[in-house]
Amino acid sequence: MRAAILGTTGYTGMILLRLLARHREVQEIFPGSSSHAGMALADTDYGISPSILTKTRWHGARLLTTEEIVEESPDVVFAALPHLASASVCAPFFGKVPVIDLSADFRLKDPVLFEKTYKEKPPRPDLLEKAVYGLAEWFTGDIKNANLIANPGCYPTATLLPLLPLSRAGLLKGTLITNALSGISGAGRNVKPAYLFCERSENTCAYGPGKQHRHQPEIKQGLDSVPGSTLDILFTPHLVPLKQGMAVTTVAELARAPASGEVDEIYREAYADRPCVRLTGSRIPETIHVRGSNRCDIGWQIEGDRIILFSVIDNLVKGASGQALQNMNIRFGFEETEGLSLHGEI
């Protein structure tokens, strides 16, 4: 495999680089960057080990322009670019090589909803239908055949994974009340005052609640993928002073009282054979246990006629670059977890 990264100097690009470096099926990596093209990779990412660089084509090499990458004809392209910029940079690769897009450009199927959400028309409305939504555990079959994978957002990944099995089983009804806590890297390498150390340290707050956050329509679309679902969601994200980590708490009304052990059984059926989901039962998961890992840990507790769902991911791994690699593995028939760590931190 020869893999290209468009946008290597952002956080998701840097994580992708580390994951691809340890992937046993990937022999060459082409690191692209429009802003830093020509610079030595070792001078833009001091964490990368030079010893690893020697194992790849990009030894001694510079960050590449998209044109240089086109000439290399990679086998797969990861686009780790900002929303609304990604589709056009990827243009030369569409139809020629599978593209895994970490931006939002192909996530929403409905062009009207896209425009309402992102305040611009979708850059490539012609491709919206072909794009497969890369929630790896739920659209595995489609991903296997996809040539354009819209990698999910971090909030939708952590929110949908615990909800979809219960929704499919007809266990939920009404409006889900979801509160999500995100580490600051969720904002990307975004040089704004609000993301300075001194503004975020010892600080936390909600932001963009209700339908305001652009991930809300993406979550709703995911919920709607379950036939017959009438679930709505009121989604409130919060910023917490973590670098990497996301915890989502959803309170859902039960459509009926589940039988004893039924919820456990529903989750086991959905995820028992999926290596990137860990079911913790009534134990509430913590973000540190999935930091750096491609796992989503899911716990739950029934409270009267409601169920509370708890899920945690690393927003840059299972919530971005790790799931992108998982999708590549699925698409190319590799072991699903190749190159990925499933261990969290101590």
- The interface with a second copy within residues 241-300 (CB under 8 A) comprises 241-245, 247, 249, 251, 275, 278, 280, 283-293, 295, 297
Residue 15 is a binding residue for a second copy (CB under 8 A) = yes
Q: Which of 308, 165, 307 is nearest to 225 (CA)?
A: 165
Residue 174 is a binding residue for a second copy (CB under 8 A) = no
Residue 324 is a binding residue for a second copy (CB under 8 A) = no
- CA distances 254 to 102, 103, 171, 175, 228, Å, are 34, 34, 6, 11, 16
Q: Which two tokens stand for residue 196?
A: 């300075």
What minimum distance in Å lies between the beta carbon of 283 and a second copy? 8
Residue 238 is a binding residue for a second copy (CB under 8 A) = yes
Tell me which of 154, 198, 205, 296 is the catalytic residue: 154
For residue 341, what is the DSSP state?
-
Residue 27 is a binding residue for a second copy (CB under 8 A) = no
What minimum distance in Å lies between the beta carbon of 341 and a second copy? 8
Residue 172 is a binding residue for a second copy (CB under 8 A) = no
User: Mind spelling out the 3-state secondary structure of 225-280?
Assistant: CCCCCCCEEEEEEEECCCCCCEEEEEEEEECCCCCCCHHHHHHHHHHCCCCCEEEE
In the block, residue with structure tokens 């507790």 = 301
Residue 232 CA to residue 126 CA, distance in Å, equals 28
Residue 56 CA to residue 50 CA, distance in Å, equals 10
Residue 214 is a binding residue for a second copy (CB under 8 A) = no
> How many residues touch a second copy (CB under 8 A)?
85
What minimum distance in Å lies between the beta carbon of 6 and a second copy? 17
Of the candidate spans 56-64, 148-156, 218-226, 335-343, the one that interacts with a second copy by CB under 8 A turns out to be 335-343
Residue 136 is a binding residue for a second copy (CB under 8 A) = no
Which of residues 123 and 344 has its CB atom nearest to a second copy in the complex? 344
Residue 318 is a binding residue for a second copy (CB under 8 A) = no
DSSP per-residue codes, 50-98 = HHHHTTSTTTT-B-B-HHHHHHH--SEEEE---TTTHHHHHGGGTTTS-
Residue 207 is a binding residue for a second copy (CB under 8 A) = yes
Region of residue 333 (phi > 0: left; psi between -120 and 50: alpha; otherwise: beta):
left
Residue 189 is a binding residue for a second copy (CB under 8 A) = yes
Q: Which of 114, 271, 310, 334 binds a second copy (CB under 8 A)?
A: 310
What minimum distance in Å lies between the beta carbon of 302 and a second copy? 9
What minimum distance in Å lies between the beta carbon of 343 and a second copy? 5
Binding mask 94-123 for a second copy (x = CB under 8 A): ------------------------------
Residue 65 CA to residue 36 CA, distance in Å, equals 9
Q: Which of 4, 6, 14, 233 binds a second copy (CB under 8 A)?
A: 14
Q: Which two tokens stand for residue 32?
A: 């692209």
205 is catalytic: no
Residue 163 CA to residue 168 CA, distance in Å, equals 9
What minimum distance in Å lies between the beta carbon of 148 and a second copy? 26
Residue 173 is a binding residue for a second copy (CB under 8 A) = no
- List 297's β-bridge partners, or say none: 278, 312
The residue type at 335: E
Q: Which of 278, 255, 283 is nearest to 268 (CA)?
A: 278
Active site residues: 154
